[in-house]
Amino acid sequence: MTDVENVKHMKWWGWGVEGVAFHHDDKPNFAPFVRKAVGLDLSQPAGSPPELSDLKVPRTKALAPIRKALAAVVGEARVVVDDEARVVHTYGKSIRDLMRIRAGVLPRVPDAVVYPADEDEVAAVVALAAKKGWVLIPFGGGSNIAGSLEPQPDEPRVIISLDMGRLRLVVDLDEDSGLARIQAGAQGPDLEAQLNARGWTLGHFPDSFTHSTLGGWVATRSSGMQSDKYGDIADIARGLRMVRPEGVVVLRPLPSTSTGPSVREMIIGSEGRLGVITEVTVQVHRKPAQREVQAYFFPSFSAGLKAMQAINESDAKPSITRVSDARESGFSSQPARPRRASPRSSPRAS
């Protein structure tokens, strides 16, 4: 298996990866609850996923000379022009994206997918694209929901998708300062596994955590489920490296600064418009020795909000606090426990 084949991609037609699915067979209360809540009968046979062969994929414009020029930078095996790879890199994973991809709406797809190994190769691809007048779209985990991965339908130029999936290492961890240098293509589970092995955590867990990258979090100004304690990515990212056609922008990791304007603030949330982020220096934290989850039921939603306000005004510092309404509480609770109040009238805070 090549290093390109080791890069993790989601299914071209939906979230998640092939072979991984939710099964409710061992959850006897789940199917009746889903039928009652949304009218879906889970006993009916599931539909078959769409077939890639049913799609009409536009032909690539990356002809032999273009592929040869890219291969001179990253290697022939790391310039991919097959239909599946190009379709995977066409859209993100919003509802609009998934509806169009399943309907076969593909007015324009990337002409080639390129997998650089390091910052030098990223810089060489960026310089080549600038020289040739190609369109370059940085690609992390593919979970974007804002249309940032989608080529313009009438784009006449060659479009290259720059997949950062091979840049996925924790390069360095300074335990004195609690700063870690991490390559931008590292997906959430991979970087947490590397940090956890040394007793540390980033503490950033967006909903897309399983299929998104550190560089993508910075580029989209991500917020995580434990931001109450650890902060958003704008608080966590201390420094970074970003490749532009003119060279590499290097922002040193500073805990705080009184100077301005802030180039760091310009880059965070820029959606790849200013350059390709290759590395981020982040604030990490010691992995907690114990994790405790508490849940409470309240007689009304307003009572739950008042409890949340009291927690916020106290000295308690939970990593996440959340209040959910009756419907969400019903979905996330065991519906057949008579000792507890009905989830239809008892919002939950946890």
| Cα dihedral across residues 211, 216, 220, 222: positive or negative | positive
Listed in sequence order, the residues at least 6 apart from 159 whose beta carbon sits closer than 8 Å to its beta carbon are 61, 108, 109, 110, 111, 134, 135, 137, 151
Beta strand 276-283 with 179-183: parallel, antiparallel or unpaired? antiparallel
> For 116, which DSSP code?
-
User: Is the Cβ–Cβ distance between 87 and 100 less than 8 Å?
Assistant: no
Pairing of strands 170-174, 247-251: unpaired
The Cα 45–Cα 87 span in angstroms is 28
Please count the residues of the chain: 350
Residues with Cβ < 8 Å from 277, sequence gap 6 or more? 138, 184, 215, 218, 219, 240, 241, 242, 267
Which residues sit in the known binding site? 207-213, 220-223, 271-277
Q: Which H/E stretch holds residue 114?
A: strand 112-114
Running DSSP on this structure, what letter comes out for residue 187?
B
Annotated binding site for FAD: 207-213, 220-223, 271-277
Burial degree of 212 (CB within 10 A; 0-12, 13-18, 19+)? buried
Query: What is the residue type of 78?
Result: R
Q: Is 117 left (phi over 0), alpha (psi -120 to 50) or beta?
A: alpha
d(CA 193, CA 202): 10
